[in-house]
Structure 1
């Protein structure tokens, strides 16, 4: 309906105005933020490393589960033999204390688990949150009350405590990676549902939505054609900020011993095993901690850049790598364009 109204208005004028697509506008605003571009490059590199973990470990000639007892000094409590934790041509980042497993292989395979769980949990949270929020805003008053109270209960739940309780009672035979993804996704959708409900209620009062409803369109068609495009910006923004949060939750659960179980590598699990080796083998602690820090920082900066690019009126929370802004929140590059 909104597209039809725009076409009719354009047909009645003599001047042709070249339209700039939303994707090009978004990319132009995002490109003006240097920190966001650097963060996007780091995230892309991490994703490539996670996807190419089998190829990278094959090039090294190692795998994440094979023990190498000859590479550890049992007389010293299992400290890796050699300097820098056994670093060398066969083991690019050294080996794990007590087990001798290759650290590089476990680090890149751990990226697959940490990033995979976070992305899958984010998709699940967004799907549930959008469905519940839109249904509450478009449904009857009774349905709105029921879904809103259920959302309040979910938001009030302490995520870590509920996750610990659920993960502790589920049988060990259930795939742990899938279980962690489900627990994070099924508990963390409350905030996105509230955002979607509030945004949908605001969009319902717009003229083009009212015109679509008066023309006889069904509720599902109005939601699909008129409301979902308006929900894209806040949903994408919140999703970009959810991913680093979910990575931290997965790492915390693995660190507490209820997340991904050995021998499947995970950054949080590696931190759990490394907490007693920070003096004898510091690289065993620093490598997963550094990878986790860089990943969360890059995703947070990228998420803030996406938020600012989608809503140029909102100034960036991170005053790094952004163009100079005037009082309206528009960067100098955008003003020139």
Structure 2
């Protein structure tokens, strides 16, 4: 990525003369050329749409995620849903939850709101802190750079799950849990993106146009805002796209361990926690949230890789070293 950024600023290269709008068009053209990334983008867009439209979808079904339906549970069999396939029918599109009778479709779509919302919010916190710390370290003097770099090293060395478990355990339960989970993930896991931003800042500030801006008397904030942040957009967007699926997995793991989102607020990780003893009697209770979680993480990972390749086509060409010669040999 460093090579791509330096090349884009070098005089005489094609990308140096391309305006911002043209650069955006090139990015979209490269992204559209990747079919897997387009499919992943469609899946992500559909998941976000389902999460946003959760109240409308559950209203159409006529259910909500918190209402109990004891009449749909066979207490003689330990709370297994009445009927075939977990009680699937016109009133309950995906059946009902064992023991409680809560509608599975409603809990699944509302769980998407929590899982995606926490992941995106945590990513925004990570990106904001990482950019501030990374740019400050890269533009600051030797002492500031050393101080911020050591703080970043400490943050990276901290075990994320253990720190999250400890912080979630001591915060009062009255604090909104999804907001708390997003803040803790963001505040504990910003070290890697700060390292990336610092490395790119150190590279960029040696370029002629940044050095000229600093010599002309511009302050560090103005240099960062006018010269560095636009050039940092590509690596930051690339890394942020790969952070989202990681944060979804962390939220699911915290909820699975019982310290994340608390009932009755639905979450995919929380549903998996309650489903671990029902995989034989009501397999759909386990398969539905697990499948949704797997599909979301896979789609976001593929999309993030597609964004990385579109922003840095040299990375894709490096992965295909030798393939051109093989094609020529076949022809």
Same fold (TM over 0.5): yes
Local SS of the residue matching 1:22 = helix
CA contact (8 A) 1:167 1:180 kept: yes
Post-superposition Cα deviations, 1:135-173, rounded to whole Å, max 9, x if no partner, equal 011112111111110000000001001111111121212
1:287 equivalent in alignment to 2:288: yes
1:207 maps to what in 2? 208
Gaps of 5+ in 2: 1-8
What are the residue-to-residue correspondences of 1:172-183 with 2, within 5 Å? 172-183=173-184
Evaluate the alpha carbon distance shift between residue 126 and residue 211 of structure 1 in structure 2; reply closer, same or farther with a 3 A threshold: same
What are the residue-to-residue correspondences of 1:51-62 with 2, within 5 Å? 51-62=52-63
Whole-angstrom CA distance in 2 between matches of 1:268 and 1:210: 49
Post-superposition Cα deviations, 1:112-138, rounded to whole Å, max 9, x if no partner, equal 000000000000000000000100111
2:121 maps to what in 1? 120
TM superposition shift of 1:214: 2.1
CA contact (8 A) 1:308 1:316 kept: no
Once the two structures are overlaid, the 10-residue window that deviates more, 117-126 or 220-229, is: 220-229
1:220 equivalent in alignment to 2:215: no
TM superposition shift of 1:178: 1.1
Evaluate the alpha carbon distance shift between residue 316 and residue 127 of structure 1 in structure 2; reply closer, same or farther with a 3 A threshold: farther
Whole-angstrom CA distance in 1 between matches of 2:216 and 2:172: 54
Whole-angstrom CA distance in 1 between matches of 2:50 and 2:153: 39
2:4 maps to what in 1? none
1:260 equivalent in alignment to 2:270: no
What are the residue-to-residue correspondences of 1:70-81 with 2, within 5 Å? 70-81=71-82
Post-superposition Cα deviations, 1:198-217, rounded to whole Å, max 9, x if no partner, equal 00000011011112122222
Whole-angstrom CA distance in 1 between matches of 2:143 and 2:212: 25
Local SS of the residue matching 1:65 = coil
Post-superposition Cα deviations, 1:2-53, rounded to whole Å, max 9, x if no partner, equal xxxx9xx9xxxxxxx8866111010011111100000000000000000000
What are the residue-to-residue correspondences of 1:160-171 with 2, within 5 Å? 160-171=161-172
TM superposition shift of 1:94: 0.1
TM superposition shift of 1:229: 1.1
Moved over 4 A (4+): 17-20, 325-329
How many pairs align? 311
Gaps of 5+ in 1: 1-5, 10-16, 320-324, 333-337
2:3 maps to what in 1? none
Whole-angstrom CA distance in 2 between matches of 1:203 and 1:316: 23
1:13 maps to what in 2? none
TM superposition shift of 1:265: 0.1
Whole-angstrom CA distance in 2 between matches of 1:120 and 1:139: 28
Once the two structures are overlaid, the 10-residue window that deviates more, 54-63 or 215-224, is: 215-224
Post-superposition Cα deviations, 1:73-114, rounded to whole Å, max 9, x if no partner, equal 000000000000000000000000000000000000000000
User: RMSD across aligned C-alpha pairs, in angstroms?
Assistant: 2.1
1:82 maps to what in 2? 83
1:314 equivalent in alignment to 2:315: yes
1:270 equivalent in alignment to 2:271: yes
TM superposition shift of 1:315: 2.0
Local SS of the residue matching 1:55 = helix
CA contact (8 A) 1:241 1:304 kept: yes
1:193 maps to what in 2? 194
Whole-angstrom CA distance in 1 between matches of 2:322 and 2:241: 26
Q: Which structure is higher in helix share?
A: 2
Whole-angstrom CA distance in 2 between matches of 1:106 and 1:316: 44
